[in-house]
Every structure is written in C-alpha cells, then in structure tokens.
Structure 1
Amino acid sequence: MINRAAAVLLKHRESYLLMTPYMIFFILFTILPVVLSVVMGFTYYNLIEPPRFVGWYNYIRLFLDDDIFITALKNTMLFAFVTGPISYGLSFLVAWIINDLSRTLRSIATVLFYIPTIIGVSVYPLWRLIFSPDAYGYLNGMLMKWGFLQEPVAWLLDKNHLLFILILVQLWMSMGISFLAFVAGLQTVDSSLYEAGVVDGIRNRFQELWYITLPSMIPQLVFGAVMQIVISFSVADVSIQLAGFPSTEYAGETMVTHIMDYGSIRYEMGYASSMAAFLFAIMVLTNRIVTKLLHKVGI
C-alpha cells in the first residue's frame, strides 16, 4: 500500500509540486485556525494566562447562561433562512434572464447587478441617512409628507424595525459570488442540448430550464449554495455599521458580532472559540443538507 502511494506521488510529482504553495497556505490559514478554535473552545483563555482546560463548560454556558447568545443565534438563523434562499434564487433568476442578451449588454447588466456587492461598505452612510431618526431622514421625510407618520421614527434604534431593515439591506448587497458563478455557468451549457431537447419534446423555456439548464450547471449551483450559506451565516458588517456595536437591546446581534464581542473586546478567547466552533458546525451541517437536497431533486 505504501509503495503504491509512493508510486502515485512520483507519477504526479509535478502536479503535487504546483499544489504545494496553495496547500501550505490553506493548512496554515484555514485548517490550523479551525482546529485551534475547536481545541480552544474547551479552555478558558484570556490572552494573559495560559489556557486552562474547562471541558464542556463553554458550550453549556452558551445555552444556559448567555441570553444574548440565544438572541444572536435566532437572528443569525433568521438571516440565513431569509436572505440565503431569496438571494440564491434571485441570483440565478437574474443570471438566467440576462443570459440571452448580447455579450455587451450581458456584461453591462452583470456589472450593474454586482455593483451593490462591491460598493456595499461605502454606501452605509447613505443607508443611515435614509433611516435617520429625525425628520430629515429620507424615509421619515417621505412618510411624514404623505401622511403615514405624524412624527419621526428611530428606525435603526427601534428593536421592532431594526432586524427587518438589516435583512433588507443585506438582500440588496447579496448578489455576489454566486451570481457571477451562475452567469459563468449558463455560458458553459452546450447549445446543442437545447436543440436536442426541442426534438425530444421540450416546448417552453421552463421545461428547458428544468431538464437541460439546471442539470448542466451542477458544479456552479453547488458552489453558489456553499457561498450563499457562508455569507448568510457570517453577517456582521451590516449590523455593526447600521445598528451599532452593540445594537439596541441586542436586536441586531448576530453570531459573528457576538464572537467579536467576546474575542476582541472582552478577550475571552476560549468562550469566543466555542461560539466559532458551534457556528462552523451549523454551517457544515447546513451545507450538507442543502447539497443533498439539490442532488435529490435532480439538480
């Protein structure tokens, strides 16, 4: 067995040599931090004292002694199960619609729909102006002018409105990498398959989509699903920039902002690591479920 493995390595030594730089960085900056985070989750570590093993204490504390974590978990799951599917479906729908445009128009449309992802950080001041709590805010001004409001509403300070606004802004910024993957994937579908489909009885665009386009885009669809899951569960910037850190009554708290709170402010690295490990487990589990569902429906 060892000799066979050595023979394979020797046969493909050029390929492994080319992979070596990437694998070194992948192990150092991805695999190793994940492993360390899992290990640190079982310790108490404050960056000053040496790590002290505490067993499952941090994980028990998450659910029995941290009400804010429960709020953050609920908010994160709401973000994931609202923005994730909507963004995924919207990204594919827009990519499918613009696919039949000419090359120039398709490129322009791709840039226009991808711009919110690129400039998202730079337009947070504009969103704060739109939802400003005084009468000079665009939303308050319009609603008061039209008679829907008698006095300004502090949209970003009101826990009843805050989460909805954050989800709305996140949706606006959500057509990212998965959208580009779908645009590229649609270009790789063999046009002869559509001609053969017409001969086999396909009569409209939706049958064409279901029986030809989607099965031909398995790699891009799975990649888009994985990226959308990662983005949906990693929401933090939109909450910090619009709702503050921390937000009013922690109404905009997410798992990532809670990890940042304990990791970079309170320096309870062991506890922060346990939250990171738990979030990682949720993302992996969700990824497995979504991938199986995609394959189960024939995609």
Structure 2
Amino acid sequence: MDTAEIGKRTRQENRRLTWLAVKQNKASYLMIAPFMLFFLVFTIVPVLMSLPMGFTDFNMVQMPKFIGLSNYTTLFLADKVFIQSIRVTLVFALFTGPISYVLCFLLAWLINELHPKLRTIFTLIFYAPSMANVYTVWKLIFSGDSYGYLNSFLLDLGLINAPIQWLTDGSYVLGVTIVVQMWISLGAGFLALRAGFQNIDRSQYEAGAIEGIKSRWQELIYITIPSMGPQLMFAAVMQIVSSFTAGTVSQNLVGFPSTDYKAHTIMNHAYDYGWIRYEMGYASAICMILFVVMYILNKLIGKVLSKYMD
C-alpha cells in the first residue's frame, strides 16, 4: 500500500468524521442556519463581488465595463477628497480605536467589582447608547445657538462671548464626531469583555495571592488579562471595524458632506459614490482598500494578542 493511498483514505476518514459530527449536532446547525444564510448573502457575497467589481466601470444600469486599475489610480492620484478622507479616517481611528478599547476594558473591569444587581444596571447604562438613536440628544448638546447645552454652559461661565457653531464650523466637526463615536462605541466588544471577567476562575486569584500577588493591579496584569485572550481579541477586532467603518455618526450629526469634508471618512466616500452617484465600480475599489487595511490591522492585533490566546 503506497503513501498516496494512505493519504487518500485519511482524507476520506476525515470527511466521514466531519459528516458524522454534523449529523450528531444537526439541531445546532439548524439553529444557526438562518443567520449563516443572511451572513452569506449580505456579507460574504458582496465582499467577494467587490473585488472584481473594483476593476470595472459599473453604474447599476449598464453592464460592467472592465477598466483595469483605473479606479485605483484615480483614487490615489486624482481624488483629493479621497486623500482627505484617508487622513480623517486615520485620525478618527487613532482616537476612537485605542481609547475606546481601553475604556471598554476599564469600565468592564470596574463594573465587575460591583454588586451583581449594580453590574446589570451599569452594563445597561453603558451599552444602551450603542443601541439607541442618540443623535437628537447630541444635536441639542452641540446646538449652534445660545440655547445649546454646551454653548449655554460655556456662556454662563464666561469662557466664550458668542455661541460656537459646533456642527458646522470646520474647526470643530471632527472633534465633535470623535466624541460622539466614543460614547456609542461600547457595543459588542464591551459585552464580550464583561463576559470575560465573569468567566475567570476565582481560584486563580487565590493561587496568585499564595504566589505573592499583593495588589489589584498585579492581579490585572498577571491573571486577568492572560485569562481573557479570546474576549480581548474579539473586542479589538470590533473596535478596529467600528473605527474604520464609521460614517453614520458624521452623516447624522454634522451633515453629508461635512463642512470642507473635515469629518468625511473613507466610508462616507464609499457611500457617496455607491448610493448617491451609483458609481459602483469606484465605490467597490474604495471598499476593497478599506477591507485590506482592516485585514492587515486585524492580523497585527492577532500577533500582539496571540500570547493570550492559548
């Protein structure tokens, strides 16, 4: 019996065992089937289609026309708004990504130290903004007249002499957008970290005390963080995705397009060409560039956190 025959039988055996496992857990697969179907149709298929579509001129009416790298060369050599959107997205991600990630972790850590009933209440308080439409409240806070909460507060303190146009002045729109995005960023990553704190075996802290750990900070560094590898990874991926795909906040808060494109992210640029101008080939090229950047960053984060994944 040759090696090729052994390998062939091994692969057949693996397939048989895989099919047997599927049959044994068919109820679980049936439960996730609706989600996987929607995920396949509305996420996987569009991502796969955007790669070849980025090399075409497609207006959703006529058949796509292959134009090679023309969309990509136009983006980097002739589209000044796209270059501006790259700078805005990088600044946006630099603030909202790491800072929101650290805030999610610290808040989850602090909430975990509370009484069980208080944990539930504060988890809801901090998670609710990610579910609710909070733009109306923030528009009241940053309203450009003297009745806006922030302007009124600053006028009463004598820090300003006239109301500031927070939502239309190019000097402030990006800062306002970053603040609001950070407020609503406590979403799935925050819940994952909360669950991670709950799942840590308490006996590890007792063993750590015997080994010489004396403070809560030492517990955090040597026990808590190493025990939360999967949750840390999931939260990091969610923060990267939310930071680089942010666009809804600026559209709802400072208008579309924002003043002088000061809060115009890459996602806003893709939305502009995809759903307003219907230049789907060009929009697909923008989305593919964004996808590649997020993929590289996720790989880097995976390497950084890989030591906690065992």
Give TM-score scaled by structure 2 length.
0.90
Instruction: Measure the CA separation in 2 of the matches of 1:233 and 1:200.
Output: 42
Task: Please point out which of 123, 138, 144 is paired with 1:110.
Answer: 123
Task: Please point out which of 276, 284, 300 is paired with 1:273.
Answer: 284
Render the CA deviation track for 1:201-224: whole Å, top value 9, x for unaligned: 111111111111111111111111
Structure 1 segment 50-69 matched on structure 2, within 5 A: 50-69=63-82
Cα 1:31–1:62 shift into 2, 3 Å: same
Cα 1:25–1:143 shift into 2, 3 Å: closer
Instruction: Measure the CA separation in 1 of the matches of 2:303 and 2:19.
Output: 36
Give TM-score scaled by structure 1 length.
0.94
The letter of the residue matching 1:58 is N
**Mind listing any 5+ residue stretches in structure 1 that lack a counterpart?**
none
Which one is further off, 219-228 or 8-17? 8-17
Indicate conservation of the 8 Å contact 2:226/2:308, yes or no: no
Instruction: Measure the CA separation in 1 of the matches of 2:297 and 2:38.
Output: 26
Percentage of pairs with the same residue: 47
Instruction: Measure the CA separation in 2 of the matches of 1:287 and 1:61.
Output: 27
Render the CA deviation track for 1:64-95: whole Å, top value 9, x for unaligned: 11111111111111111111111111111111
Q: Which residue of 2 aligns with 1:255?
A: 266
CA RMSD of aligned residues (A): 1.8
Instruction: Measure the CA separation in 2 of the matches of 1:19 and 1:43.
Output: 38
Residue 89 (1) aligns with residue 102 (2): yes
The letter of the residue matching 2:138 is W
Instruction: Measure the CA separation in 1 of the matches of 2:113 and 2:143.
Output: 41
Instruction: Measure the CA separation in 1 of the matches of 2:181 and 2:24.
Output: 40
Instruction: Measure the CA separation in 1 of the matches of 2:81 and 2:96.
Output: 22
| Displacement after TM superposition at 1:157 (Å) | 1.0
Q: Which residue of 2 aligns with 1:242?
A: 253
Q: Which residue of 1 aligns with 2:29?
A: 19
The letter of the residue matching 2:246 is V
Q: Look up the SS of the partner of 1:217 in the other structure.
A: helix
Indicate conservation of the 8 Å contact 1:83/1:232, yes or no: yes
Residue 141 (1) aligns with residue 145 (2): no
Q: Look up the SS of the partner of 1:228 in the other structure.
A: helix
Cα 1:14–1:298 shift into 2, 3 Å: closer
Task: Please point out which of 223, 229, 233 is paired with 1:218.
Answer: 229
Cα 1:15–1:162 shift into 2, 3 Å: farther
